[in-house]
Structure 1
Amino acid sequence: MDSKVETIARLAQWRIDNFGPSTYRRSDPFKIGLWNWHLSIEKNRYMYIRLFPEPSRVSKEQPPVARFVLRVTTTGTNRKPYISPIHERLLRTSDDFVWPIDTTFLGRFIIDVEFLDLKIFPTNGGEGSPVWPSDGIMHSLSTKSTLRCLARMLAESIHADVTINTADGSVCSHKAILSASSPVFHSMFLHNLKEKESSTIEIEDMSTEACNALLGYLYGTIQQEDFWKHRLALLGAANKYDMKDLKDACEESLLEDINTENVLERLQEAWLYQLNKLKKGCLMYLFDFGKIYDIKDEINNFFKQADRDLMLEMFQEVLTVWKPA
């Protein structure tokens, strides 16, 4: 369908198969952040592209301030992108933003809009509140009372009975919490291993700061900014110590903000830790959404070091995307 918009992470893509003699077209709604959005195109002397939120209670009571960039690309062998400046606008209606392009497109072309930031505009003035990163994942099902107790246990080392040595320091914890959180830790303390005898765990591949973030997650006290900062280290620990919930949370978070600067690193992490959803998202971003054309130099270096099986899978993805309709 010409009106359907595909989305991945913060990128939306509208493929126009045949604009023809039409003078106006509007996309179906697509969800980015809290809002449903529309793109529209209008042909006169110029081509006019508009971006606006769908009229709703959310867009009226919590209007978005969007920072974004648009790109229009012709398909086929002569791919020619028209890239807008970076815009930052308060968007309420279709009159709030229009991008005129001094050309018209016939046949097939693609419109990309990449949201660099989204904030909720305060109707009473003041600073807008950011939509990303979202802290929804971090809400614990534990009661506030239990969380306060766990926070005190960790912060004050109340009856702490195990020391964790990190790459640059040490922290104290509780065998019961670690054992309940990880079958690997549980095995360490259950059997006559050196960790049981010494009440010491060596985690030399994590910094103290990252280890504190890990403990914050296990005790239910982690702050969103700490989780966001240490996602890759937490992912490695989750994989090493068999913490499935943490591994899933890291994967979902890493999928949220794929961009041209991190997509290859994310793809490598997805392959290393067998994160199929993240791997699929990275491949979609590169091939289905055509962002591989933006990182030609980086992709050449990536291919020199990438695993052969990963390269084969990427090649198969290319064949799937470029398969004639």
Structure 2
Amino acid sequence: MSDAYRVETTSRLAQWRIDNLASCTYRKSDPFKIGKWNWHLSVEKNRVLFVKLYPEISNLTRDNPPIASFIIRVVSSVGDRKALTHSEITDKQLKNNDDFVWAIEVPLTGKFIIDVEFLDLKTISPDGGEPCSIWADGFTQKRSNATALTSLGRMLTEGIHTDIIINVADGSIGAHRAVLAARSPVFRSMFSHDLKEKELSTINISDMSIESCQAFLNYIYGNIQHDEFLAHRLDLLRAADKYDIADLKEACHESLLEDIDAKNVLDRLQNASLYQLPKLKTSCMRYLVKFGKIFDICDDFNAFLLCAERELITEIFHEVLGAWKGF
């Protein structure tokens, strides 16, 4: 590797020493690693000097481009040491060699150094949300959260210092008052007042099986698996509504929207009405009426009408009449 193209680095600092640019108009550095990415610096001499900083093209860059905050300087190393400093770049997403270009109109001759001090590097989580730093603040927070969730999961699965018993239809499970109270205002009220749950250190949930209750607790403790969640969505929805766990109710709501079909649409519609899930109700109505699936399940639909609430039946017929008017 030629020294002319080598970039020296520390954890957050990169320096490229250029001894002579007189004999060429373009030079690109060898790749150098800062954070998770390989980077390049390049200089192009025309009427002005263009300095570029960009990540090396890779699957990582395409899928998760860095969001960089940095200060970049050009330092003359001949005679009196002089530095030209670009104003601080904050949260700039860099994907290619045109995303950061610094045009320097001051003529530079002889030796000089391009100095890049990375203040922060962030990525966007696949789940969305605010960009998170890959360095101390973001990484430490993620590691802390992951460790805490693992520890909570062990408290449940290994029965570490459980202090409440949940009795269900076909068994019982130990849990922790503090965790349940922190996740549900209904549980908190049980343990804060002189109710039988506080006195006897038991909770009776007779309408849940032990498998569904285990899934419910696994969600509360941050330990649920995707297949387990899918298998018990309706029981989890019922428990979320009963114990006022809003995030679980919304997770069930979003999941039930994803696989509506002729076999489950009427059941989903009934639950949407019962638990006040507007998006699910709208999607079921559209599936039945706008897409004409109501005619494919006539027998099931007639049976549904015999037991459905009057208000829901009225909504369905309003939807049907509205669709007919559109023809």
Instruction: Look up the equivalent residue of 1:173 and give its one-letter code.
Output: A
Which residue is 2:264 aligned to? 262
User: Compared with structure 1, are the counterparts of its residues 287 and 260 closer, same or farther at alpha carbon in structure 2 (3 Å cutoff)?
Assistant: same
Q: For 2:301 and 2:278, locate their aligned partners in 1 and report how far apart those are by CA, in whole Å.
A: 20
User: Compared with structure 1, are the counterparts of its residues 289 and 177 closer, same or farther at alpha carbon in structure 2 (3 Å cutoff)?
Assistant: same
Which residue is 2:250 aligned to? 248
Instruction: Look up the equivalent residue of 1:150 and give its one-letter code.
Output: L
Q: For 1:222 and 1:247, locate their aligned partners in 2 and report how far apart those are by CA, in whole Å.
A: 15
Per the normalisation by structure 1, the TM-score is 0.56
Matched, 1:311 2:317: no
Which residue is 1:274 aligned to? 276
Which residue is 2:289 aligned to? 287
User: Compared with structure 1, are the counterparts of its residues 266 and 142 closer, same or farther at alpha carbon in structure 2 (3 Å cutoff)?
Assistant: farther
**Counterpart mapping for 1:213-232 below 5 A:** 213-232=215-234
Instruction: Look up the equivalent residue of 1:205 and give its one-letter code.
Output: D
**Counterpart mapping for 1:90-169 below 5 A:** 143-169=145-171
Q: For 1:274 and 1:321, locate their aligned partners in 2 and report how far apart those are by CA, in whole Å.
A: 23
Matched, 1:212 2:193: no
Which residue is 1:42 aligned to? none
Can you give the 5+ residue segments of structure 2 that lack an aligned partner in the other structure? 1-58, 64-125, 129-141
Q: Deviations over 1:261-319 (max 9, x none)?
A: 00001001111111111111100110111111211111111111111111000011112
Q: State the aligned residue count.
A: 191
**SS state of the match for residue 256, structure 1?**
coil
Q: For 1:292 and 1:141, locate their aligned partners in 2 and report how far apart those are by CA, in whole Å.
A: 50
Q: Deviations over 1:48-71 (max 9, x none)?
A: xxxxxxxxx9xxx9xxxxxxxxxx
Which residue is 2:304 aligned to? 302
How far off its partner does 1:136 sit? 6.5
How far off its partner does 1:238 sit? 0.6
Instruction: Look up the equivalent residue of 1:226 and give its one-letter code.
Output: E
**SS state of the match for residue 235, structure 2?**
helix
Indicate the structure whose relative CO is greater, using CA pairs within 8 Å and at least 6 residues apart.
1
User: Compared with structure 1, are the counterparts of its residues 136 and 291 closer, same or farther at alpha carbon in structure 2 (3 Å cutoff)?
Assistant: farther
Instruction: Look up the equivalent residue of 1:181 and give its one-letter code.
Output: R
Q: Deviations over 1:114-137 (max 9, x none)?
A: xxxxxxxxxxxxxxxxxxxxx979
Which residue is 2:118 aligned to? none
How far off its partner does 1:142 sit? 7.0
How far off its partner does 1:147 sit? 1.4
Q: For 2:325 and 2:167, locate their aligned partners in 1 and report how far apart those are by CA, in whole Å.
A: 53
Q: For 1:294 and 1:214, locate their aligned partners in 2 and report how far apart those are by CA, in whole Å.
A: 35
Q: Deviations over 1:6-63 (max 9, x none)?
A: xxxxxxxxxxxxxxxxxxxxxxxxxxxxxxxxxxxxxxxxxxxxxxxxxxx9xxx9xx
**Counterpart mapping for 1:22-101 below 5 A:** none
Which residue is 1:72 aligned to? none
Return the index of the structure with the highest Cα Rg.
Answer: 2
Q: For 1:324 and 1:187, locate their aligned partners in 2 and report how far apart those are by CA, in whole Å.
A: 51
How far off its partner does 1:175 sit? 0.4
Q: For 2:166 and 2:326, locate their aligned partners in 1 and report how far apart those are by CA, in whole Å.
A: 56
Instruction: Look up the equivalent residue of 1:271 and give its one-letter code.
Output: S
Q: Deviations over 1:241-271 (max 9, x none)?
A: 1111111111111110000000001001111
Q: Deviations over 1:168-193 (max 9, x none)?
A: 00000000110011100000000111
How far off its partner does 1:148 sit? 1.3
How far off its partner does 1:324 sit? 3.5
| Counterpart selection for 2:241 from 233, 236, 239 | 239
Q: For 1:282 and 1:274, locate their aligned partners in 2 and report how far apart those are by CA, in whole Å.
A: 13
Which residue is 1:321 aligned to? 323
Instruction: Look up the equivalent residue of 1:176 and give its one-letter code.
Output: A
How far off its partner does 1:162 sit? 0.4
RMSD: 2.2
